[in-house]
Amino acid sequence: MLTAHTRQSSRAGVKKLLNLGSSCIYPKLAPQPLKEEYLLTGLLEPTNEPYAIAKIGAIKLCRYYNEQYGTNFLSVMPTNLYGPGDNFNLETSHVLPALMRKFHLAKLMNGGDIRGIREDLAARPLGFGIQVSPSMTDSEVEATLQRLGIFRDHVLLWGTGSPFREFLFSDDLADAVIYLMMNHNSADVGELINIGVGVDFSIKALAERIQSLVGYAGEIRFDPSRPDGTPKKLLDVSKINSLGWYPKVTLEEGMNRMYKWYCGRGRI
């Protein structure tokens, strides 16, 4: 779809365009932090490969249009995003919103707030084809959450908690792309440019921060029989910093704003 948009933009005479990519374009075992020049230097993460190939195709197309037709197409690669309006479906969400919802539901369960749990489940799908109907008993609702690792006294998370991930607040990404479009051209950006914060956290540390934010009093447990995924995926952000842009929202502030939005029952 992006490649089609790029072609049509060029044919329509669009001179400046922003192509939004993803950090999954980089090889699974590339050196850390991930520099822009590491693109296509190794094998991709197999579970992300189709998506990554599509993103890489769009990057290359923008580059070649710039070279052949003198367009001003910019390709930006953000790290993991989060913020209000995020996807909290436990089957399809990314790690941060998934953890936030799990701890929130566990907190409600720990406090015996079945009504609050039912309201949450009515507002957003759980995923995995799981349906929670009003006719279900309280014990059936609790058993349903336990299937997803959500218990009164603990939350069970996949993997070991050892992989590291970087997180960028959604408003910061918006700020960065507007900054680049208003102030810089493809000659400054090059073939692609990373957008991130330059700091990462282990999944275990992230879980502990979210647990504290939500106020859940139970334990965090990990299931090492489940996959961890890529061990580390930190972006090198020296290029965008050299162009004068830096993130403004800390992880603590961003998660706070996101959780307040979530508790306000904002819908996806």
Residues serving a catalytic function are 51
Assess contact for 236 and 194: CB atoms under 8 A. yes
Q: What backbone torsions phi and psi does residue 75 show, to the nearest 5 degrees?
A: -115, 120
What does the alpha-carbon distance between residue 235 and residue 246 come to, in Å, rounded to a whole number? 13
Helices (H), the chain: 2-11, 49-69, 95-110, 114-123, 138-146, 170-183, 186-189, 203-214, 238-242, 251-263
Beta sheet of 16-20, edge-to-edge order: 16-20, 72-78, 193-195
Residue of 117, 115, 124 lying closest to 85 (CA atoms): 124
Assess contact for 104 and 112: CB atoms under 8 A. no
